[in-house]
Amino acid sequence: MNISNKATRIRLADFSSVPMRTFHMTWFAFFLCFFGWFGMAPLMPVIRSEFHLTKAQIGNLTIASVAITVLVRLLIGWLCDRIGPRRAYTWLLMLGSLPDVRGARA
Instruction: Select from 74, 66, 76 the least CA-distant residue to 96.
Output: 76
Digit-coded pLDDT (tens) for 55-64: 999 889 888 8
3-state secondary structure of 76: helix
Digit-coded pLDDT (tens) for 23-49: 888 888 788 877 877 777 788 888 899
Measured between alpha carbons, how far is 33 from 72 in angstroms, rounded to an integer?
A: 15
Global pTM reads 0.49
